[in-house]
Structure 1
Amino acid sequence: MSTDATPQERSLVDRRVVLICLLAIGLGLAAALAAQILVGLIAGITNLAFFGRFSLQEVSPADHQLGFLVIGIPVVGALIVGVMARYGSAAIRGHGIPEAMEQILTNQSRIPPRMTILKPLSAAISIGTGGPFGAEGPIIATGSALGSTLGQWLTVSTQERKTLLAAGAAAGMSAIFGSPVSAVLLAVELLLFEFRPRSIVPVALASVTSAGLRLAFVGSEPVFAMPHLAPPGVAAMAFYILLGGLMGVAAVLITRVVYGVEDLFERLPIHWMWWPAIGAVAVGVIGCFEPRTLGVGYSNISDIISNRLTVSAVTGLCLLKFLSWVISLGSGTSGGTLAPLFTIGGGLGALGGAAAVALFPTAGIDVRVAALVGMAATFSGASRALLASAVFAFETTLEPLGLLPLLGGCAMAYLVATLLMKNSIMTEKISRRGVRTPSEYVSDPLDQILVAEIARSPVTTLRVDQTIGDVRKWMASGGAETQHQGYPVVNAAGLLVGVITRRDLASLDKSDETLAEVISGIVKFVYDDCTVRQAVDHLVNHNIGRLPVVRRGVPHQIVGIVTRSDLLSAYRRRIEEMRTDEPSLPVVAPAASSRNTPASQSIGAAP
């Protein structure tokens, strides 16, 4: 029996998955190395631009002694990035993650190979000359490009290429932050749009590999170290959840401002190559008054969540970082969103926590936890990566007692932001281009229904010894059984030998030919224990409209038939599950007076 006659058997994993896993491990190693190169490039450019020395030692541009001359440094870097974007690839502009999402949704996960060089180089120049971005966005984009390029060099399916792209992205994030679990969750929520073993396992292996190599480079210290936290009380938890809701509102406002600034730049009467330089003027001017807004600023996040800054310092840093970042990002330069959102959200959370402590000193509210919740909840509301946001804050601080308020705050931020705005900061751009991004990852209802549940039985069949003329005469006689578009053909033993349709019968000339003489090719059928998804795939693969159903283990013994309309009816179960049910328990109207109600009468009993 030809395997082409039957639906393809579906399995959770197979040998192809093993191959993709091996490739993903290689991507993890490559992304970890790329992350170290990017960090070194940023450090080297920062040293050269702000301190006039050649060194790869990490240093903050906030320590510069240039005075007002610092304004020109971001402008020079932006001019270089603008030239690279115009004459190299315009894809280096923007956040990084939205561009990867667009390639997945519209271009079969194909990212130009040159992006593996241009994106990290442009980002290093942008950040190294004072751009208010983190290194995580560019390295995620670089890892995505590495995975996509590998998938274009090899013979793989589009789904496998998407998995490699997501594996590279997760490995890149894990290499910067040492956060393998949240990197996998981010890939699931923003890139894979699915939760299947054949995609999750390779992404997880790539992320773990990258995080393991990072340990060898920089050690196991958390990226955002903070003092140990105490368990939150009930009142404090209520506040952290409320704070998460406020951060959801803030995330929506931030998203609208970001794209509002982008729209303003779109109206400028000059080529977009010059826009980053215009945005960089704001970066330089703000950097004169608040040097901590320049560059990556991971130390700012640690200071905020550790409550080492005064209220006035947090207010100034939060406001000026937001202005610098939103103008620079809106100008179309090469940069990311994670670190700036963490700084802004952490600052807002810290300010909210300080206000709550002043108003409710006995509620047990911790300003550090409020800052941590603000940081993660803002990213959750802005990106709609709920689980990734909560787990990320834990992995980068290694404070397990913060997990409970983190989950509550991120969930509330996600809820509020989703109610207030359809798109996220990651999807608004591509949505404007007409690209719809999946936002709900539900199991396929067709995978949960067996063919046996929807197959029609008994089946009207034709015999191989009947002639074309006999069949046409029978069909002309009328009756319900003669109205079908196709009929299984069986032999004398009742076994399936083929299928003939009305179109086939109309195209035949000789009325005296038997059905045995006109049936040709391999008969396509489906087993009764196959899923409806397998049946649908089988119909599409062979461009047919119906499938005889046979019992597995009893070759060609027909037990039913399924058509396209039968398969569509399988969606009824999902539609019915989404309907709001009427209350199943009886609703009892309150008695007019308690004196008229017998003490022994149970709820719902007849009066």
Structure 2
Amino acid sequence: MQLLARRGSGHADAAPHATHLGDFQLRPRVLLITALALVVGALSAVVAYALLQLIGLITNLVFYQRVATEMIAPSAAPHPWWLVLFAPVAGGLVIGLMARYGSEKIRGHGMPEAIEAILTGGSRVAPRVAVLKPVSSAISIGTGGPFGAEGPIIMTGGAVGSITAQLLALTADERKTLLVAGAASGMAATFNAPLAAILLAVELLLFEWRPRSFIPVAAAVVVGTICRGFLLGTGPVFDMPALSAPGPLADSLALVPGITGGLLAIAVTALVYKSEDAFARLPIHWMWWPALGGLIIGIGGLIEPRALGVGYDVIEQLLAGEATMSLIVGILVVKTTIWALSLGSGTSGGVLAPVFMIGAALGAAEGGLLPEVSPGFWAMCGLAAVVGGVMRSPLTGIVFTMELTHAWNGLVPMIVASVSAYAVSALLLKRSVLTEKIARRRVHLTREYTTDPLETFFVHEVMAEHPLVLHGDEPVRAVLPQVREANLYPVADRAGQLIGVTTHRALVSCHGGIVSDATTAARGVVHPDDTLREVVNVLATHDITRTVVVDRTDPTRVVGVVTLAHLLHARRQDLHEEHHRERVLTVRPEPPSAPKEPALAWITADH
């Protein structure tokens, strides 16, 4: 993310035109994309609802042999062992066939695929993915897969936004905005968590925080949340007993599930990709991998039936403080194992619901050793911690937990748990479960939010002042000894007014003529009060590596030349501020004969 950070208020006031907020220059476009995002938000909410209904339908058909769409756990009633074992295998086989003969893009848990579409695909999602992804995910979860619906909803909602954009004449950035609007509104409609959905969009999908994208995404999320109220109700997804104020001790002890949650996040991420590597070494086509993953799921279901399916009922039981120790251990061991191993098989399913369950189980297990606060409090801390550690999105982990439970009294310990888990994960693990998959496809991804150093310097601070200005009527033979290769030279008339630019090569090609014969129009001139970021935009737009700096009030008067090399000054300063250590304040004893003065002296290092 690039944040505007101008140095020197005088410059900003003197050059309001130089403030690089292109969103305001594109206000009609922002309003248009926002209007489209409202439609996308409503459509994505309906798609999210339809996906949940489809999951319920397949679950009922497979495990209860009835036609119904209510969300029900596969373990709500006992089943024959062969059904528990082979239903996930059959589901995996169908998914493998759909991926091979439909679209390989349906493989995986949805978020990396959405990120990759944004980074490398121009935010284009094929229409068939919009159909095949939710169907394959519903089959995977409905046949017992231990996955969540949120990843497929992100991909499907994103597909709705992308397809809408592809039907219109929009830019790639505008397609990205609508893709993310669809993904975030689908999330909001699923979990009734609008703020968490917006944060998820910013932390994971947008790669920027600018009005042109933030406003449409927020608008879509609001619409998706309103639609959810009509379709699924407005209450919290997980009801918790009233949470009393935790107090300073509980706030501090939230470090325990935070740190252990970060370590668990590292272990889970490693297990997912070890599994993926193991499947890649199998001497069979990847089409069969989801069926093998289904076999792992079936074996796990025989050991702990409640590990199957989305598991919202188990999460609610954990957060209510009603889970038995056998269930807690079963979720931590069986759910974690079958989820990570089967996800590595390339089947279709999401990560958030399993992460919710695993995190809540970790917190519930530690709650027996920690002071009692309120039922489900420590499970809530574990949930926030593992989301922050696995997703590497601490703000999303905090807000998600709050919005899922409406237990707002627990905000401070959730901050402690989620941020400490994020710290452990970030310090010990190079990439998250989401970005590792993208990195393996040789796509570099950074999620660090920082100031753009090109925004902190103006042209007049780095340009070459008083450049050699040639006169158009001078003989080329006379000026050639003064010029060097790889430089740009302004050309002016005898009145000193700029008429164009020339180079050493151009002059050599007109050796027998005058300078004006080797002169071309100056492309993309800049001004002393432009930022270096604006210079980069000009150079890129005109496909040049250097340009002339002219006075803004008199565009015919040359004041300097700026080149790509000058732009490195901003990067050098950024590196200097990051790595150079200096003592700005020091404590020194008073001179014996001096009057009594404060011991602290302000000393500015002179470098």
Alignment of structure 1 residues 333-482 onto 2, 5 Å: 333-357=347-371, 365-366=373-374, 368-475=376-483
Q: Which residue matches 1:36?
A: 49
Task: Tell me the amino acid that sits aligned with residue 531 of structure 1.
Answer: T
**Paired position in structure 1 for 2:74:** 61
Give the alignment partner of residue 154 of structure 2, picking from 129, 134, 140.
Answer: 140
1:456 shift after superposition? 2.4
In 1, are the aligned partners of 2:463 and 2:562 still within 8 Å (CA)? yes
CA offset at residue 343 of structure 1?
A: 0.3
Distance change >3 Å, CA 524–CA 76, structure 1 → 2: closer
User: Are residue 11 (structure 1) and residue 19 (structure 2) matched?
Assistant: no
Q: CA deviation at 1:261?
A: 1.8
1:154 paired with 2:168, answer yes
Matches within 5 A, 1:533-552: 533-552=533-552
The answer on 1:82 being equivalent to 2:84 is no
Contact 1:44/1:56 (CA < 8 Å) preserved in 2?
yes
* RMSD (Å) for aligned C-alpha atoms: 2.4
Residues 525-551 of structure 1, C-alpha deviation per residue, up to 9 Å, x if partnerless?
A: 112221111111211222223222122
| Distance in 1 separating the partners of 2:86 and 2:551 | 77
For normalisation by structure 1, the TM-score amounts to: 0.90
Q: How far, CA to CA, are the matches of 1:528 and 1:174 in structure 2?
A: 46
Structure 1 equivalent of residue 332 of structure 2:
318
Q: Deviations over 1:390-439 (max 9, x none)?
A: 11111111121111111111111011011111011111122222221112
Partner of 1:560: 560
- Matched-pair contact (CA < 8 Å) for 2:271–2:341: no
1:278 and 2:292 equivalent?
A: yes
Report what 1:361 is aligned to. none
Shift of 1:576: 1.8
Q: Which amino acid aligns with 2:586?
A: P
The AA in structure 2 aligned to 1:423 is R
Residues 190-235 of structure 1: CA distance to partner in whole angstroms, max 9, x if unpaired? 1122222212112111111111111111121001111121222222
Question: Of 487, 490, 493, which residue of structure 2 is paired with 1:491?
Answer: 493
Unaligned 5+ runs, structure 1: 1-5, 358-363, 476-481, 590-595
Q: Which residue of 2 aligns with 1:248?
A: 262
- Pick the aligned partner of 2:503 from 501, 504, 509: 501
Q: Hey, what's the Cα distance between the residues in 2 that align with 1:64 and 1:190?
A: 38
**What's the TM-score once normalised by structure 2's chain length?**
0.90
In 2, Cα distance between the equivalents of 1:178 and 1:444? 35
> Structure 1 residues 79 and 547 mapped into 2: Cα distance closer, same or farther (>3 Å)?
same
Q: Which amino acid aligns with 1:536?
A: V
2:216 pairs with 1:205: no
SS at match of 2:197: helix
**SS at the partner of 1:53?**
coil
Aligned length in residues? 579
Deviation at 1:256, TM superposition (A): 0.7
Instruction: Measure the CA separation in 1 of the matches of 2:149 and 2:485.
Output: 66
Is the 1:242–1:412 contact (alpha carbons within 8 Å) kept by the matching residues of 2? Answer: no
Match of 2:571 in 1: 571
Q: Offset at 1:58?
A: 2.6
CA deviations over 1:49-97 (Å, ceiling 9, x no partner): 1111112223222123422132222222121111111111122111111
CA contact (8 A) 2:522 2:547 kept: no
Q: Structure 1 pair 503/276, CA: closer, same or farther in 2 (3 Å)?
A: same
CA distance in 1 between counterparts of 2:304 and 2:266 reads 26
The residue number in structure 2 matching 1:528 is 528
Q: Quote the residue 2:9 is aligned against.
A: none
Matched position secondary structure for 2:548:
strand
The answer for the alignment partner of 1:118 in structure 2 is 132
**What CA distance in whole angstroms lies between the structure 2 residues aligned with 1:553 and 1:132?**
66
The 10-residue stretch of structure 1 (274-283 or 404-413) with the greater mean CA deviation from structure 2: 274-283
| Residue pair 2:93, 2:288 contacting (<8 A) in 1 also | yes
Q: What letter is aligned with 2:388?
A: S
Secondary structure at 1:499's aligned position in 2?
strand
SS of the equivalent of 1:174 reads helix
| Distance across 2 between alignment mates of 1:244 and 1:462 | 67
Secondary structure of the 1:130 match is coil
Counterpart of 2:564 in structure 1: which amino acid?
R
Asked if the contact 2:18/2:529 (under 8 Å) is kept, the reply is no
Structure 2: state its 5+ residue gaps: 1-16, 602-607
* Residue pair 1:63, 1:291 contacting (<8 A) in 2 also: no
**2-structure distance, mates of 1:580, 1:466:** 49
Supply the AA of the counterpart residue of 1:266: A
Aligned to 1:51: 64
Can you list the C-alpha shifts for 1:361-413, whole angstroms capped at 9, x where unaligned?
Answer: xxx64452211111121111111111111111111111211111111111110
1:367–1:8 distance in 2 versus 1, CA, 3 Å: closer
The residue that corresponds to 1:479 in the other structure is: none
Could you tell me which residue of structure 2 aligns to residue 592 of structure 1? Answer: none
Q: In structure 2, how many angstroms separate the alpha carbons of the residues matched to 1:324 and 1:570? A: 49
